[in-house]
Structure 1
Amino acid sequence: MTSATTMTSALEPAHRERLMRLAREVSFEAGIRLFEEGRRADRFWIVRTGTVALDLHVPGRRPAVIETLGHGELVGWSWHFPPHLWHLGAQATSPVRAWEFDADAVLRLCAEDAEFGRAVAVWVGQVVAQRLHASRVRLLDLYAPYGSGSLM
């Protein structure tokens, strides 16, 4: 993930501080599923330590790992867009410490403060764009006859 899509680089200090007031510390052991594709997206996380794999259900196969996330990265963006259902699955691939956020509380803050809401929306949009690109590259690597090669 590019540094422009981490919370630290995407949000100005006042917006980061406001968001972090809603954070609670959580931890997950390796192998724990954070969420499943198609289920309700009601929270999100920012990784402090450890790694989380994002995966995509592929009928008749094991889930395809699309991307592995680490320090400072956003886990989960589906909470931001109706119908608020996870588009991917996620699993801790090592012990993880993270900040967890209640999506409804963050969305309320976004609705109350347009500037904050815009900053969060731009940040999440950047993450979605980056994940879409990573998904495309990974799926081409897995299923295209000659792999993805270089896209740029």
Structure 2
Amino acid sequence: MTSATTMTTALELVHREQLMRLAREVSFDAGTRLFEEGRRANRFWIVRTGTVALDLHVPGRRPAVIDTLGHGELVGWSWHFPPCIWHLGAETMSPVRAWEFDADEVRALCSADAEFGRSIAVWVGRVIAQRLHASRVRLLDLYAPYGSGDPA
């Protein structure tokens, strides 16, 4: 996790407050599938407590865990870009408490308020960049002959 991708550091206070007006508190037991790769992305979450694993379907193998997310992190970005289909899967690794958001409501607010929309787009873009890098490193570690070569 980088501080640039958590909601509290990525969004200005006014935009955090606008977003949080749309939040709904939810909780999930460990082992709950939040979404499946290829299905419709109609909501997203910000983790309050617990851990969520992002995974990628690999034909003929178990899903590869790409990244784990915790406090303050965005779970799901596919809702923001048409056709709004999940690019990964997600499962809770522990009991999770989160704020849940309806994607249609947030996209409508983005359309109605250009500054808010820009702020959300920049935040989601940073998250995508981080997840792309994490996916690359993890897949190289799993499937390349010598791993990613990343000393971290």
TM-score per shorter chain, which class? over 0.9
Q: Which position in structure 2 is the counterpart of 1:37?
A: 37
Q: Which runs of 5+ in 1 are unaligned?
A: none
Letter in 2 for 1:39: R
Q: Which position in structure 2 is the counterpart of 1:64?
A: 64
Question: What's the C-alpha RMSD, in Å, of the aligned pairs?
Answer: 1.0
Q: Which runs of 4+ in 1 moved over 3 A?
A: none
Q: Tell me how many residue pairs correspond in the alignment.
A: 152
Rounded Cα–Cα distance in structure 2 between residues aligned with 1:125 and 1:51: 22
Q: Which position in structure 1 is the counterpart of 2:141?
A: 141
Rounded Cα–Cα distance in structure 2 between residues aligned with 1:65 and 1:150: 17
Rounded Cα–Cα distance in structure 2 between residues aligned with 1:99 and 1:86: 19
Letter in 2 for 1:58: V
> C-alpha offsets along residues 27-50 of structure 1, whole Å, 9 cap, x if unaligned?
000000000000000000000000
Rounded Cα–Cα distance in structure 2 between residues aligned with 1:150 and 1:34: 30
Rounded Cα–Cα distance in structure 1 between residues aligned with 2:32 and 2:10: 28
Q: Which position in structure 2 is the counterpart of 1:92?
A: 92
Q: Following TM superposition, by how much is the alpha carbon of 1:149 offset from its aligned partner in structure 2, in angstroms? A: 1.3
Q: Following TM superposition, by how much is the alpha carbon of 1:151 offset from its aligned partner in structure 2, in angstroms? A: 7.8
Q: Following TM superposition, by how much is the alpha carbon of 1:150 offset from its aligned partner in structure 2, in angstroms? A: 2.0
Rounded Cα–Cα distance in structure 2 between residues aligned with 1:16 and 1:107: 15
Rounded Cα–Cα distance in structure 2 between residues aligned with 1:138 and 1:82: 26
Q: Per the alignment, in what secondary structure is the counterpart of residue 58 of structure 1?
A: coil
Q: Following TM superposition, by how much is the alpha carbon of 1:144 offset from its aligned partner in structure 2, in angstroms? A: 0.3
Q: Which position in structure 2 is the counterpart of 1:46?
A: 46
TM-score of the two chains, using structure 1 as the length reference = 0.98
Q: Which runs of 5+ in 2 are unaligned?
A: none
Q: Which position in structure 2 is the counterpart of 1:127?
A: 127
Rounded Cα–Cα distance in structure 2 between residues aligned with 1:54 and 1:36: 10
Rounded Cα–Cα distance in structure 1 between residues aligned with 2:100 and 2:128: 19
Q: Per the alignment, in what secondary structure is the counterpart of residue 149 of structure 2?
A: coil
Letter in 2 for 1:150: D
Q: Per the alignment, in what secondary structure is the counterpart of residue 94 of structure 1?
A: coil
Q: Which position in structure 2 is the counterpart of 1:18?
A: 18
Rounded Cα–Cα distance in structure 2 between residues aligned with 1:122 and 1:110: 12
